[in-house]
């Protein structure tokens, strides 16, 4: 918990992105020393997400043409469906999800009983290419508009990069939710990212693979980020506003302030209602 919290606070010092998640991912990409790992897609998590959407179809589409949005972070999924032009019916979306699930299961190891020769992670481009090819084969059957798929499919896949999973499952799970399930022996003994078997509680209770970020990896990531960010500060001789305000003389050391770290002001909307006698 302390490591994830420290990574989160450091990311918000180092970057001023569109969201805390954006800051967190950028910190990992620029300073963790694990850039390639962070960008790779975890197929077991992606597969489980698509399988969950397939399982929820009766509730998501109670009536053809109407898509019910559940209280989950499904923006990328919904955007992909909209841009694909696919009819909002259980038959069409169910067929699309089954095609994706079959393609992933055939090419990647997402279950513990699959061949060890199959990989559980791959590059974003490779996963997008596989799913795009799957869509092209079923284009007429599914009534998919391939011209609108491109970037929205890539954004959906990107939600399951190792960096995104680390942010969502560990950072958010530990800080805001009910923690993260780990097996302590492996968590404290394994030095690098690995996959472990868990049982899915929704739908059919089947064994699933799930990516694990052990203590050694998390601690090394934090140490790398601290050292790399420290080197950046020494090189630029500029401090983010939060640190600058604590240790610098505002009147005489303005040259050390990183102006980019100051958020732009926003207009304040004030509604003035005339009173009696105005």
pLDDT in tens, 169-204: 888 877 776 777 788 889 899 999 999 988 765 555
- The pLDDT-based confidence of 153 (bands split at 50, 70, 90) is very high
**265 or 174: whose pLDDT is higher?**
174
Domain limits for position 177: 2-220
CA-CA distance, 125 to 141, in Å (whole number)? Answer: 25
> In the prediction, which pLDDT does 106 show?
96
231 in any annotated domain: no
Asked if residue 259 has pLDDT above 80, the reply is no
- The pLDDT-based confidence of 245 (bands split at 50, 70, 90) is confident
Note whether 24 and 99 are same-domain residues: yes
Note whether 49 and 134 are same-domain residues: yes
Tens-digit pLDDT profile for residues 213-243: 999 999 999 999 999 989 988 888 888 877 7
> In the prediction, which pLDDT does 71 show?
63
66: DSSP letter: B
Note whether 204 and 241 are same-domain residues: no
End-to-end CA distance of the chain: 57
DSSP output for 251-271: TT-GGGB-GGGSPPP-PPP-P
Tally of domains in the chain: 2
Helix, strand or coil, per DSSP, at residue 203 = coil
Note whether 108 and 208 are same-domain residues: yes
- CA-nearest of 225, 246, 193, 234 to 23 is 225
79 in any annotated domain: yes
Asked if residue 165 has pLDDT above 70, the reply is yes
249 in any annotated domain: yes
Note whether 143 and 198 are same-domain residues: yes
CA-CA distance, 21 to 167, in Å (whole number)? Answer: 7
């Amino acid at each position: 918990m302390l490591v994830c919290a420290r990574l989160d606070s450091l990311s918000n010092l180092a970057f001023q992105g569109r969201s805390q998640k954006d800051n967190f991912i950028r910190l990992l990409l620029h300073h963790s020393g694990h850039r390639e790992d962070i960008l790779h897609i975890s197929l077991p998590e992606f597969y489980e997400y698509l399988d969950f959407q397939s399982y929820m179809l009766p509730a998501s589409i109670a009536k053809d043409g109407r898509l019910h949005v559940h209280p989950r972070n499904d923006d990328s999924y919904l955007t992909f469906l909209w841009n694909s032009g696919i009819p909002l019916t259980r038959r069409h979306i169910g067929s699309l999800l089954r095609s994706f699930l079959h393609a992933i299961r055939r090419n990647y190891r997402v279950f513990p009983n699959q061949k060890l020769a199959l990989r559980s992670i791959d590059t974003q481009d490779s996963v997008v290419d596989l799913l795009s090819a799957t869509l092209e084969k079923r284009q007429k059957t599914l009534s998919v508009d391939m011209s609108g798929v491109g970037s929205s499919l890539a954004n959906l896949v990107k939600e399951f990069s190792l960096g995104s999973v680390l942010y969502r499952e560990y950072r958010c799970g530990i800080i805001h939710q009910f923690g993260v399930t780990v097996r302590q022996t492996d968590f404290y003994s394994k030095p690098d990212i690995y996959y472990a078997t868990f049982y899915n509680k929704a739908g059919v209770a089947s064994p699933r693979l799930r990516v694990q970020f052990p203590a050694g990896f998390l601690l090394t990531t934090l140490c790398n980020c601290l050292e790399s960010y420290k080197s950046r500060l020494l090189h630029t001789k500029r401090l983010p506003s939060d640190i600058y305000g604590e240790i610098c003389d505002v009147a005489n050391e303005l040259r050390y302030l990183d102006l980019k770290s100051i958020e732009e002001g926003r207009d304040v909307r004030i509604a003035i209602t005339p009173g009696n006698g105005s």
